[in-house]
Amino acid sequence: QSVLTQPPSASGTPGQRVTISCSGSSSNIGSNTVNWYQQLPGTAPKLLIYSNNQRPSGVPDRFSGSKSGTSASLAISGLQSEDEADYYCAAWDDSLNGHVVFGGGTKLTVL
């Protein structure tokens, strides 16, 4: 069972906007920034969003992140077929000398 809670699945049609939620606690999301990763089938994860809402170079602005309190969200607008992937949220957790915690992942299906 993951420390951060994500819905196991999400779906949308091409062009649609979808959001994926990530719920945590005061020791992780509530006091630290959130990062999002995209994992295409058979590949290593890729950093999609860092520091809650920052996009690394090369990541389309269709992807955006936000955080409020102990929850965060990833939004994908103008959904494309190549967005079909697993998405993970992650954050630093201040408990037990500090460590990184991940969400369980959300499988996004483009219908």
Partner 1 sequence: QVQLQESGPGLVKPSQTLSLTCTVSGGSISSGSYYWSWIRQPAGKGLEWIGRIYTSGSTNYNPSLKSRVTISVDTSKNQFSLKLSSVTAADTAVYYCARAPTVKLQRDAFDIWGQGTMVTVSS
Query: Is there a contact between 48 and 57 (Cβ–Cβ < 8 Å)?
Result: no
Other beta carbons within 10 Å of 38: 20
Q: Which of 45, 46, 39 is nearest to 108 (CA)?
A: 39
Binding stretches for partner 1 (CB under 8 A) = 2, 32-33, 35, 37, 43-47, 50-51, 56, 88, 90-92, 96-105
Judged by beta carbon, residue 13 or residue 96, the one nearer partner 1 is: 96
Compute the least distance from the CB of residue 6 to partner 1, in Å: 9
β-bridge partners, 50: 54
User: CB 26 → partner 1: shortest distance, Å?
Assistant: 17
**In the complex, minimum distance from the CB of residue 72 to partner 1, in angstroms, rounded to a whole number:** 13
